[in-house]
Amino acid sequence: MGCNVDNDVFLRDIQADDLPIFFEQQLDATANFMAAFTAKEPGDKDAFKAHWEKIINKETIIKKTIIYHGKVAGHVSSFEQFGEQEVSYWIGRQYWGQGVATKALFQFLDYINVRPLYARAAKDNTASIRVLQKCGFKIISEDKGFSNSRSEEVEEYILKLSSLQAIAD
């Protein structure tokens, strides 16, 4: 990969103890607004548990916990959606703006050998779009869909990573 990765961010397999942290992170209203396409009821613990049980048990989903300075900072995954392999990540808001998402995504791209690889981001989520672009994704299209967190249709960019190499600033 074309990035100097510090030892302050690393990925590991998801553990049961990570899930309560993921749940707390998804309760953040600002993070939900930025992500746009989120759980219908972020505070529904049963729905959260069922969702993560599916993710953990589905072997075709590649998923990792993001560790930053020894703490669970979020998660990153790749899965099939709309017939294409996509990547998605969630970073706890207290870790925003520290390069955690970019470093984690660069590392994660080593796990994903499928190209092209796609990602989606709300058009106004400029931070996430920048993370994806730093990792070599290019905006190729636009779409829109209903956002649970915003209770309205939201425009999004579809991004594509074509090669096995990423470019960092």
Q: What is the CATH number of the domain that holds 150?
A: 3.40.630.30
pLDDT on residue 166: 46
Confidence label for 109 from pLDDT (cuts 50, 70 and 90): very high
Q: With a cut of 90, say whether residue 163 has pLDDT above it.
A: no
Q: With a cut of 80, say whether residue 168 has pLDDT above it.
A: no
Q: Is residue 65 part of a domain?
A: yes
Q: Which domain holds residue 61?
A: 9-161
> Which H/E stretch holds residue 156?
strand 152-161
Q: Is residue 131 part of a domain?
A: yes
Handedness of CA 67, 58, 147, 111 (dihedral sign): positive
The tokens 């209203």 sit on which residue?
A: 29
For the chain, give the number of residues: 169
pTM of the model: 0.89
pLDDT on residue 3: 43
pLDDT on residue 169: 42
pLDDT on residue 32: 84
Q: Is residue 2 part of a domain?
A: no
pLDDT on residue 6: 52
Half-sphere exposure of 134 (CA within 13 A, CB side): 19
The rounded percent of the chain whose pLDDT value lies above 90 is 75
Q: With a cut of 80, say whether residue 7 has pLDDT above it.
A: no
Q: How many domains does the chain have?
A: 1
Computed over every residue of the chain, the mean pLDDT equals 90
